[in-house]
Amino acid sequence: MDEFKTGLPADRQRTGAVKTPAVCSSNTQEKMYRRYLILRGDIVDCNEEDGQKTARYSENKPQGKTMKTLVTWSSKTGNTKSVGEAIGAVCPPETTLCPIEEAPAGGGEYDFLIIGYWVDKGVPDAKCKEYLKKIRGKKIAFFGTLGAYPDSDHARECMRKAEDMARDNEVCGHFLCQGKIDPELLEMMAKMPNNPHPMTKERKARIEEAKKHPNEDDFNAARQYFESVFDKMKHQG
Q: How far is the CB of 91 from ligand FMN (least distance, A)?
A: 19
Q: How far is the CB of 183 from ligand FMN (least distance, A)?
A: 10
Whose Cβ is closer to ligand FMN: residue 157's or residue 231's? 157
- Which window, 48-56, 119-127, 161-169, 221-229, contacts ligand FMN (CB under 6 A)? 119-127
105-119 burial: b if 16+ Cβ within 10 Å, else e: eebeebebbbbbbbb
Whose Cβ is closer to ligand FMN: residue 75's or residue 95's? 75
d(Cα 220, Cα 31) in Å, to the nearest integer? 13
d(Cα 171, Cα 162) in Å, to the nearest integer? 10
Contacts of 112 (CB under 8 A, 6+ apart): 67, 68, 69, 70, 138, 139, 140, 141, 172, 233
d(Cα 203, Cα 196) in Å, to the nearest integer? 12
Report the residue from 53, 77, 93, 209 that binds ligand FMN according to the rule CB under 6 A: 77
Per the CB < 8 A criterion, the answer to whether 118 and 179 are in contact is: yes
d(Cα 39, Cα 235) in Å, to the nearest integer? 11
DSSP characters for 196-216? SS---HHHHHHHHHHTT-S-H
Could you say whether residue 75 binds ligand FMN (CB under 6 A)?
A: yes
- Which window, 9-17, 61-69, 90-98, 142-150, contacts ligand FMN (CB under 6 A)? 142-150
- How many positions of this chain bind ligand FMN (CB under 6 A)? 21
- When CB distances to ligand FMN are compared, the closest residue is 179
Binding to ligand FMN in span 180-199, by CB under 6 A: 180-182, 185
Could you say whether residue 126 binds ligand FMN (CB under 6 A)?
A: no
Per the CB < 8 A criterion, the answer to whether 163 and 138 are in contact is: no
- Which window, 18-26, 27-35, 61-69, 78-86, contacts ligand FMN (CB under 6 A)? 78-86
Whose Cβ is closer to ligand FMN: residue 37's or residue 146's? 146
Could you say whether residue 120 binds ligand FMN (CB under 6 A)?
A: yes
d(Cα 1, Cα 21) in Å, to the nearest integer? 9
Interface residues with ligand FMN (CB under 6 A)?
75-80, 118-122, 145-148, 154, 179-182, 185
